Amino acid sequence: GHAVPEPLPPVEVEPPPPTPPPSSAPEVDRDLFGQPVKRTSPARPQHDDAPEPRRPPEQDVPVVRNLTDEDVASFKALGVEVCLATEGCGDVWLVPEYTGRDDRKEISVRDAATLAAVCSAFPGARVTSYERPAADDAS
């Protein structure tokens, strides 16, 4: 037969520390053993009247990736024209090349990429007007 080992003596386990009721005191970070851990980030100032730095919420800030020459060439090769409905500028047509049509506002994909890059250089900037000078006004 097989020898059955003696049972191990019971191990004493400390009960988990009681969970304190929620309070207005700042939350303390604790390690795996429940011991307080020093914060590595600086604590927030205690002045309630100190203004918070104004930062727009992350979801309101579009991520603008600059178009590469390959992206522009790819759009041009597709030969498509895309109508963008905008709040401030009305309908604007994104075109591979300008057609010269007077019945609509057009912008080439290359010029749109330039505008996007300029706007991204100035946080919060956006196009609010899109006007083409009349043919006789152009110099």
Q: What is the pLDDT of residues 35-77, one digit of tens each?
A: 777 755 555 555 556 555 555 544 455 555 677 888 889 999 9
Question: Could you tell me if residue 107 is inside a domain?
Answer: yes
DSSP state of 44: P
93-97, 122-126, 133-137: range with highest mean pLDDT: 93-97
**For residues 8 and 132, what is the distance between their CA atoms, to the nearest angstrom?**
88
| Beta strands at 90-95 and 82-86: parallel, antiparallel or unpaired | antiparallel
**Structural domains in the chain (count):** 1
pTM greater than 0.85 (yes/no): no
Question: Could you tell me if residue 13 is inside a domain?
Answer: no
Our CA angle for 26, 29, 34, nearest 5°, is: 120
Within 8 A by CB and 6+ apart from 94, the residues are 81, 82, 83, 84, 106, 107, 108, 109, 112
Question: Which range of residues forms the domain containing residue 71?
Answer: 65-121
